[in-house]
Amino acid sequence: MGKPTGFLEYDRRGNPCQEPLERIRHYNEFHPRLDREERQRQGARCMECGVPFCQSGAVLNGMVSGCPLHNLVPEWNDLVYHGSFAHAAERLLKTNNFPEFTGRVCPALCEAACTCGLHGDPVTIRDNELGIIEDAWEQGLIRPTPPSARTGKRVAVVGSGPSGLACADQLNRRGHSVTVFEREDRPGGLLMYGIPNMKLEKTIVQRRLDLMAAQGVEFRTGVDVGVDVTAEELLGEYDAVVLCCGAAQPRDLAVPGREARGVWFAVDFLKETTRSLLDNGLTEGTYPSARGKHVVVVGGGDTGNDCVGTCIRHGCASVVQLEMMPKAPDGRAENNPWPEWPRVCKTDYGQEESIAVFGRDPRIYQTTVTELLSDEKGELRAVRTVQLDRELKPVPGTEEELKCQLLLIAAGFLGAERYVPQAFGLELTPRSRVVTVGDSCTTAVPGLFAAGDMRRGQSLVVWAIYEGRAAAHEADAYLMGYTNG
């Protein structure tokens, strides 16, 4: 490394963050980037550790430690320190198709495994990644580069989320003619509609989509494969088909009163908010508004947190986030040593905003909903809850009634929606994951591949990119007899 002592000389400094009471006034991103000089100092903190766990992507105690994409983290941190941002972008893009996405929404598995974090603060790897790619965009280094020759092979990619886009990008670079099918009115999948604008501005997603289109990728929106187009038509028209449809089957609440009006699955709620934001600037009546309502969010994960932050921006009267599991420790437990992923309590942006607005953390742990209560018009008015013990069994005498006019179910996903795999004659696991050959992306149907959440289950954007790249590698080998992708 160019600055072996940098981690001793410079303190960690992440991208600044707008104060909660300021940022809830808008739906834009709220982490302005550091200037180049400070970014170079942060790159200098990458130590000459010898074993870069940050790029390992190893499974330790059931959790992944380090980057699944095996990003060349020490290399581009060193280049950042030396001010070689263009070269750093080349090395970054070698392993990651979309650093502008992971640099914003990835939980930074790399930083959890950073050697600097063993006895101090880890390197700002994710912020450095974002700084590199945004600098490259600003300097005009990210330009359309269509393949110099086409192979004559045609590939259909079904789904335009991160796995579908990564697969399409790789196959297009190889020279295949790629068409991406998306059932929504805009491409991008969860990047466009599942992740709120304040975490990932849609201009950033559209910028990448426009670049891919300029490089030759065709996007066909409003086409629901399995409904509007049959599996037989796709397999007959294209030389290979890759399914990247996600794990969009939400887990429901099987409780009395579920039919009450005012209950939304979290992803549908977030999708309609973003759609309205893009279409008409959130005109009242065009999205399920939380304004003036008491909101209960079922689920303590990232999606639940996104719902909390969105409802606060809507102007909700209150928000509560229910979590079935006990609160995680604030620091690493003895049985959770570095470089394992830290199983610790994280207070995310939505919870920070709730604390600022309502004076308390919205999370209530070891609690679940037992019944939904409606008024005479069938509108949701309250939910009944009960506390749970360590074995997730109800604790008698802990029942409570919470005001609620909007209930958001963010309890995770059960796997792929069945109609697409069924249309292609694919088998599903008991958890509704598409069955492939071994650990590959190849299915039992010749020329048909599956990748992303529909194959591995609900996961991270970085894993979706990994899956899309892997599927592209296998599809290319199938089409050409070999692959260099």
Are 240 and 296 part of one and the same domain? no
Residue at 148 is within a domain = no
Are 125 and 21 part of one and the same domain? yes
Q: Which is nearest to 183 in space by CA: 220, 210, 128, 134?
A: 220
Residue at 147 is within a domain = no
Are 338 and 473 part of one and the same domain? no
What does DSSP assign to residue 428? B
Residue at 485 is within a domain = no
- Total number of domains constituting the chain: 3
Residue at 145 is within a domain = no
Are 306 and 337 part of one and the same domain? yes
Q: Which domain holds residue 465?
A: 154-248+414-480
159-182: buried (b, 16+ CB within 10 Å) or exposed (e) per residue? bbbbbbbbbbbbbbbbbbbbbbbb
From first to last of the 485 residues of the chain, give the pLDDT tens digit: 678 899 999 999 999 999 999 999 999 999 999 999 999 999 999 998 989 999 999 999 999 999 999 999 999 999 999 999 999 999 999 999 999 999 999 999 999 999 999 999 999 999 999 999 999 999 999 999 999 999 999 999 999 999 999 999 999 999 999 999 999 999 999 999 999 999 999 999 999 999 999 999 999 999 999 999 999 999 999 999 999 999 999 999 999 999 999 999 999 999 999 999 999 999 999 999 999 999 999 999 999 999 999 999 999 999 999 999 999 999 999 999 999 999 999 999 999 999 999 999 999 999 999 999 999 999 999 999 999 999 999 999 999 999 999 999 999 998 999 999 999 999 999 999 999 999 999 999 999 999 999 999 999 999 999 999 999 999 999 999 999 86
Dist. CA 244–CA 252, nearest whole Å:
23
Are 16 and 116 part of one and the same domain? yes
* DSSP-derived 3-state class of residue 408: strand
Where does residue 437 rank: exposed (0-12), middle (13-18), buried (19+ CB within 10 A)? Answer: exposed
Q: Which is nearest to 476 in space by CA: 176, 157, 219?
A: 176
Residue 244, C-beta contacts closer than 8 angstroms, at least 6 positions apart: 157, 158, 159, 160, 161, 163, 164, 167, 450, 451, 452, 454, 464, 467, 468, 471
Domain-terminating residue out of 411, 439, 463 = 411
Helix H or strand E segment including 383? strand 380-387
Residue at 278 is within a domain = yes
* DSSP-derived 3-state class of residue 87: helix
What does DSSP assign to residue 334? T
Are 241 and 296 part of one and the same domain? no
Q: Which is nearest to 267 in space by CA: 345, 194, 163, 354?
A: 194
- Whole-model pTM: value is 0.97
Are 217 and 258 part of one and the same domain? no
Domain-terminating residue out of 359, 382, 411 = 411
SS in 3 state form for 162-201? HHHHHHHHHHHHHCCEEEEEECCCCCCCHHHHHCCCCCCC
Q: What is the CATH number of the domain that holds 131?
A: 1.10.1060.10
Residue at 295 is within a domain = yes
Q: Hey, what amino acid is at 176?
A: H
